[in-house]
Chain A
Amino acid sequence: DADVTQTPRNRITKTGKRIMLECSQTKGHDRMYWYRQDPGLGLRLIYYSFDVKDINKGEISDGYSVSRQAQAKFSLSLESAIPNQTALYFCATSDSSPGQGNKQYFGPGTRLTVT
C-alpha cells in the first residue's frame, strides 16, 4: 500500500464551486505539505503543517485553505475554484528526525481542472 495517498486522483469542476482534496499518510510523519505543479514553474508550496495544531502559509496560499484533521490527514480546499487553479496538486510528508534533511515523500498527485 502507498504511504501517501490522495483522493481524488482526477477532478473536473466548474468555476465558483467549492472543492476539497484529501491526503492521508501511513508514514507516521508530523510534517505535511500541499504543493501545486504547473508547467515551467516547478512545484510551489501552498500550505504546510508541522503538527495537528500548526498551519502555515506557503508561497501561494491565496484562494486556498487547509485542515489538519489528524496527524495522518491533511486536506486542501478551494473555497471558490477559478480556472487558474487548474494544476496538478501534490501532498507530501517529511520526517523531522535529525539528519533526514526534511526529505519529502510525495503522494501520486491530484489533477484538477476548473472550467
Chain B
Amino acid sequence: AQSVTQLDSQVPVFEEAPVELRCNYSSSVSVYLFWYVQYPNQGLQLLLKYLSGSTLVKGINGFEAEFNKSQTSFHLRKPSVHISDTAEYFCAVSRPTGNQFYFGTGTSLTVIP
C-alpha cells in the first residue's frame, strides 16, 4: 500500500520569501504524484501533477515540484510567496493501475506580511 508523509504540519514564511513544502511517499512501484491546494472555506484544487517524463513539474500560481525517485520525494516549491498563497497544501499519490488516491495529512502554509 501507499503512504504519503508531509513532514511539516505548519509552515510560516514571510511574504516574498521562498518556500518548500516537503512530501515523501512509500511505494515499491510506479506512482502518480499530485499537489492540491485548499484555500480557506473551499474545496481542493489541483496545483500540479507528475505522471511521467520530466521530473520538474510546473503548476499554477508559480509553484513547481520535483519528482525524486531515489529519495521517493515530491517537494513543492515557490521562489517568492504572496499573501494569497496562505492555504492548506496536500500531497497525494495514486498508482497507474490503482483505484485509490492517498493523501498526506496536509501542510498549512501561512504567509506573513
Contact = CB atoms under 8 A, between A and B. Distances in A.
B43 A42 contact: no
The winner among B9, B42, B92 for most chain A CB atoms within 10 A is: B92
Interface residues of B, number: 24
B90 interface: yes
A5 to B, nearest CB: 10
B74 interface: no
Interface residues of A, number: 27
Interface in B42-59: 42-46, 49, 51
Interface in B30-52: 32, 34, 36, 42-46, 49, 51
Interface in A74-91: 90
Interface string A41-61: 111110010100000101000
B94 A101 contact: yes
Contacts of A104: 34, 36, 44, 46, 92, 101
Interface of A: 4, 33, 35, 40-45, 48, 50, 56, 58, 90, 92, 94, 99-109
Interface of B: 6, 9, 32, 34, 36, 42-46, 49, 51, 90, 92, 94, 96, 98-101, 103-106
